[in-house]
C-alpha cells in the first residue's frame, strides 16, 4: 500500500468522524419571543419557567424578589443577562444596588465565572444591566462538590440595601438566558441517573398498562432541553479520539515502511 493511498484513507476516516459532530451541533436559538413570559415568580416554588433564548419580562416593585427558572444540560455554559428599568430619578432617594443570583436544582447558589453580578446604579440612571456566566454544566460530579449539574436553574433578581422610602417603587425587568456549547472539552466519565429537576423522582409516568388511569405528576419544572436531557452524548471528544487513532496508525505504517526499506537496502550486495 503506497503512502498516498494511506493518506487518502486517513482523510476519508477523519471526514466520516467529523460528520456526526457537525450534524449534532446546536442550531441558533430563534430570535422571536412569541409566548415569552411577562411575569416573574416570588419564590423558588413559584418561579416562572423560561426557555433558553427567550426574553422574559416582568413588572415588580423595589424590594421584591423576582424568580425565573430555566433548564441547562451537560456541556452548556449558561449566561444570564438581566436589565432593570428603574423608577423616575425624582422618586428615588439615592443610588440603588441590584443583584442577580443563580441557583441549581438543589437550591445551591452557583458562582459566576465572569460577568457583573452586582451593580450600583446612580440616582439619575434609567436602567442597570447585570450578567452572570456560570461554569460549564458537568454530566457528573462528586457528591461533596458544588459543580453545576444538569437540571433546573433558578434566577433571583432583587435590589439590596434599600431605604424605607425606596421600597415599593415600580420597576420593569428583562431576563434572558443563552448558552454556549463547550463540547468535548467539558466531557466527564459519568452521568446522573436523573437531572436535578425538583420533584422528578416522584413523577408518575403513564405506561401502556395503565393508560386508562389518571396520571399525576409532582414535577415542579415542565421545561426540558429541546433534544431531551443528556442529549449531548456525542461531542468532539470522539472526533479527537479518532484523529489520535488515525495518526498513531499512520506513524506505525510510516515507521514500518522506513525500516523495511533500509533493511532491504542492507541485504543487497554491492555487486548485484
* Nearest-angstrom CA–CA distance, 77 and 115: 13
* Nearest-angstrom CA–CA distance, 66 and 80: 14
Is there a domain that residue 13 lies in?
Answer: no
Answer whether 133's CB lies under 8 Å from 115's CB. yes
Can you give the pLDDT of all 272 residues of the chain as single tens digits? 454 454 454 444 444 444 443 333 333 333 345 688 999 999 999 999 999 999 999 999 999 999 999 999 988 999 999 999 998 888 888 889 999 999 999 999 999 999 999 999 998 999 999 999 999 998 888 888 889 999 999 999 999 988 888 899 999 999 999 999 886 666 666 677 788 888 765 544 444 444 444 444 445 566 767 667 765 455 555 565 667 777 888 888 877 778 876 655 555 555 55
Is there a domain that residue 260 lies in?
Answer: no
User: What values do phi and psi take at 117, rounded to 5?
Assistant: -80, -30
Is there a domain that residue 22 lies in?
Answer: no
HSE-up of residue 57 (Cα within 13 Å, Cβ side): 9
Domain count, the chain: 1
Is there a domain that residue 222 lies in?
Answer: yes
Is there a domain that residue 167 lies in?
Answer: yes
CATH code for position 188? 2.60.120.380
* Nearest-angstrom CA–CA distance, 143 and 120: 36
Q: pTM score > 0.85 for this model? A: no
Is there a domain that residue 23 lies in?
Answer: no
* Nearest-angstrom CA–CA distance, 112 and 116: 9
pLDDT at 150: 92
Is there a domain that residue 257 lies in?
Answer: no
pLDDT at 33: 53
Q: Which one, of 68, 55, 70, lies nearest residue 197 by Cα?
A: 70
pLDDT at 5: 52
Going by the DSSP 8-state scheme, the letter that residue 203 receives in this structure is: P
Is there a domain that residue 75 lies in?
Answer: yes
Domain containing 91: what range? 33-206+216-236
* Nearest-angstrom CA–CA distance, 129 and 118: 9
* Nearest-angstrom CA–CA distance, 174 and 66: 11
Amino acid at each position: 500500500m503506497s503512502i498516498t493511498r494511506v493518506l487518502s484513507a486517513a482523510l476519508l476516516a477523519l471526514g466520516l468522524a467529523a460528520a456526526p459532530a457537525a450534524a449534532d451541533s446546536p442550531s441558533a436559538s430563534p430570535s422571536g419571543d412569541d409566548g415569552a413570559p411577562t411575569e416573574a415568580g416570588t419564590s423558588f416554588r413559584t418561579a416562572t419557567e423560561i426557555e433558553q433564548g427567550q426574553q422574559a419580562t416582568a413588572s415588580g416593585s423595589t424590594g421584591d424578589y423576582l424568580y425565573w427558572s430555566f433548564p441547562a444540560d451537560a456541556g452548556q455554559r449558561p449566561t444570564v443577562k438581566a436589565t432593570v428599568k428603574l423608577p423616575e430619578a425624582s422618586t428615588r432617594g439615592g443610588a440603588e444596588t441590584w443583584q442577580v443570583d443563580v441557583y441549581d436544582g438543589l437550591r445551591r447558589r452557583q458562582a459566576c465565572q465572569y460577568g457583573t453580578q452586582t451593580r450600583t446604579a446612580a440616582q439619575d440612571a434609567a436602567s442597570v444591566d447585570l450578567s452572570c456566566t456560570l461554569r460549564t454544566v458537568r454530566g457528573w460530579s462528586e457528591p461533596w462538590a458544588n459543580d453545576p449539574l444538569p437540571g433546573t436553574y433558578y434566577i433571583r433578581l432583587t435590589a439590596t440595601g434599600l431605604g424605607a422610602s425606596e421600597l415599593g417603587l415600580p420597576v420593569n425587568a428583562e431576563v434572558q438566558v443563552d448558552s454556549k456549547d463547550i463540547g468535548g472539552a467539558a466531557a466527564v466519565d459519568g452521568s446522573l441517573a436523573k437531572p436535578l429537576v425538583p420533584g422528578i423522582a416522584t413523577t408518575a409516568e403513564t405506561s401502556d398498562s395503565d393508560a386508562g388511569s389518571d396520571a399525576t405528576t409532582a414535577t415542579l419544572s415542565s421545561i426540558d432541553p429541546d433534544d431531551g436531557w443528556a442529549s449531548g452524548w456525542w461531542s468532539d471528544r470522539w472526533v479527537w479520539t479518532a484523529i489520535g487513532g488515525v495518526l498513531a496508525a499512520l506513524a506505525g505504517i510510516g515507521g514500518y515502511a522506513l525500516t523495511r526499506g533500509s533493511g532491504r537496502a542492507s541485504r543487497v550486495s554491492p555487486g548485484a
